[in-house]
Amino acid sequence: MSLSFQHLTSTKQLSREDTDAILKISGEMEDVLEKGGSDLLADKVLAALFYEPSTRTRLSFETAMHRLGGKVVTAVGMQFSSLYKGETIEDTMNVVGRYADIIVMRHPEQGSADTAASVSPVPFINGGDGPGQHPTQALLDLYTIQKERKKIDDIHITMVGDLKFGRTVHSLSFLLGLYNNLRFTLVSPKELTMPEKVTSFFKEKGIEFTETQDLEQGLDADVIYMTRVQEERFEDKSEFERLKLKYVLEAKHVKGKDITVMHPLPRIGEISEDVDPLPNAAYFRQARNGVPLRMALLAMLLGKA
């Protein structure tokens, strides 16, 4: 199965055919994982360039590559490396793209992924560009919704927290726009509302959405997607302190209800630990879904699926 693109920088570039194929191959990768892995990508090298901290994204990409028999070269804390030293992203891509067969990059600047993809000699994947996009997180979120709810159409999803700077909710909103009869409740402080680029997309597509500051109004959803207030995007730290724990989801909000609780993680207190033992708590399963999803994507972009 092939994809309609060579580089993945944004969920806006995905078609329904792409997501159908990615979700299907992710399911097949669960069987590969069950067997402990395969050698599908034995002759391939992934370069992982992280200019910003990452645990889940980096480790799940590395795990995915290893499970398919591939190799990984990683550069973290890039601002301290000799490659960086003021080098342009274009030059870095031109160098690293001559070492590796595929590149994943996380970078603090919005738009950096498009710059990288425009010159990369090998397939390029955006692992998060500042407050912009995080397409592989959105794909694993989509895969999680499908697994947890057994459907993606006709879902009411409540997104909570830092909808302004949280790139995962931007990417996921665009991706869910490929499906039918979705409804969004957007819960955030007024300082951290969903950007216009997303709300205008909802309007264009005729997608129903409600914006509120009240968490209680979002509790009749099928999925509640909690997010962390993105401390690193605040110039004024006192503003961050004031907004950081405006919404905390507790067991009493979801216990006994048919609501799936998701979070891209890390959580910094937004979900109380008393939610963890409940069947509603899907966030650790969600993190684990990143492995088969990224296995699928790596194999497909490398023309091996």
Q: Which residues bind ligand NCD (CB under 6 A)?
A: 56-57, 128, 134, 137, 167-168, 228, 264-265
Cβ distance to ligand NCD smaller for residue 264 or 292: 264
Task: Say which of 12, 56, 183, 233 is annotated catalytic.
Answer: 56
CA distance 64 to 30: 11
In the complex with ligand NCD, the residue whose CB is nearer, 119 or 240, is 240
Any catalytic annotation for residue 106?
A: yes
85 tagged catalytic: yes
Report d(CA 227, CA 32) in Å as an integer.
31
Cβ atoms 147, 34 nearer than 8 A: no
Active site residue 285: no
- Smallest gap from residue 113 Cβ to ligand NCD (A): 13
Which of 9, 11, 57, 193 is an active site residue? 57
State whether the Cα torsion 246-169-299-149 is positive or negative: positive
Least separation in angstroms between residue 42's CB and ligand NCD is: 27
Token pair of 214 as six digits? 């009240």
Active site includes 107?
no
Q: Known catalytic residue: 67?
A: no
Contact between 25 and 300 (Cβ < 8 Å): yes
- The single-letter code of the amino acid at 58 is R
What residue spans of 52-189 are helical by DSSP H?
56-67, 89-96, 112-119, 135-149, 167-176
Quote the least distance from Cβ 206 to ligand NCD, whole Å.
28
What phi and psi values does residue 124 have, to the nearest 5 degrees? -125, 140
Among 67, 134, 164, 167, the active-site one is 134
Given 85, 98, 150, 237, the catalytic residue: 85
Of 147 and 183, nearer to ligand NCD (C-beta) is 147
Residues carrying an active site annotation: 56-57, 85, 106, 134
